[in-house]
Structure formats: C-alpha cells, structure tokens
Amino acid sequence: MKHRTGTLAETHGTFPRVPSPESRVPDVESRVPAVPVVLTIAGSDSGGGAGIQADLKTFMARGVHGTSAITAVTAQNTRSVRSMHVLPPREVRAQIEAVFADFPVAAIKTGMLADAATIRAVARALREHPGVPLVLDPVMIATSGARLLDARAI
C-alpha cells in the first residue's frame, strides 16, 4: 500500500471554500416548520420498534414535525432488552427546554420515563407549558417482558 505525504490539499486536491455559519443560517420564519410540532419524551430503542424512533416515524407518517427528549438509551431488539442507561433528569429537562425555546410545540407525548426522578423532572418542565395537549403512554414493560420503569416509580 502506498502512503501519501504532504498537506491535505496536496494529497487530495483543493476543496471548495465553506461559507461561514452565519451565511448558512436561514431566518427564523424559514426554520419554523409549516406543520404542527409534536414533542415526544421517551426512551431510545436501538431496534427502532418502540420509543423515540417509533414515535418519530409515526409523526412523519401523520404529517407533523417530530422533536424529542430522550429519557433513556436501551440496547434492545425484538427479543430482549440487553441494557438500559437512564439519562440524568437535568439532561432530560434541558432537552425539553431546548425544544420549547425554539419550536411552537402543539402537542406532547410521553413514553418510557424510567424512574421517579425523571417523572418529577418531566412534570416540572411541562408545568411551565400549560395548555399544550398531553398524551401519556405509561411505558412500564417492554414487549419482551423486560421492566422499563423502576418499581419505586409506580
């Protein structure tokens, strides 16, 4: 195998100049989706069959813009949940606040909230946005039978 030496431009040719970030940012009106915005607050399913991934696919199919706040990351497939990492409640709340700071959220759906601390953090964050319709999907157990909600949160 022959190794190349020299600068990136010398070895691969010249690259086009990249515009500054400021010149690429559209104005606010063009960034706000023209369709309703829905926020899902749930876990991430690596198999894509549930959680954030399934919610976002459903939102797209229904013609709404999906945003998300991830509560936990699971390593799972259709047969089992191999591991689960619950995000700190402050990180979940930060995601919720980031979405509300930039999008006109028309509805919220919750799924896997994992533990009591996350449930409390989500409840506090959502109290700051009264009047937004809320769909509660109390995900407690995966299809495979694995527990997804800490027993102390029930």
User: At residue 136, what are phi and psi to the nearest 5 degrees?
Assistant: -100, 120
CB 59 within 8 A of CB 66: yes
Higher pLDDT, 18 or 31: 31
Task: Identify which of 123, 106, 27, 81 has the alpha carbon closest to the alpha carbon of residue 138.
Answer: 123
Convert the pLDDT of each residue in 113-128 to its tens digit: 999 999 999 999 999 9
Pairing relationship of beta strands 65-76 and 81-86 according to DSSP bridges: antiparallel
How many angstroms separate the CA atoms of 29 and 52, rounded? 27
Instruction: Examine the pLDDT at 36 and tell me if it is beyond 70.
Output: yes
Q: How far is CA 6 from CA 2, 12, 15, 146, in A?
A: 13, 10, 15, 54
**Domain segments of the chain as ranges:** 35-153
Q: Is 35-153 a CATH 3.40.1190.20 domain? A: yes
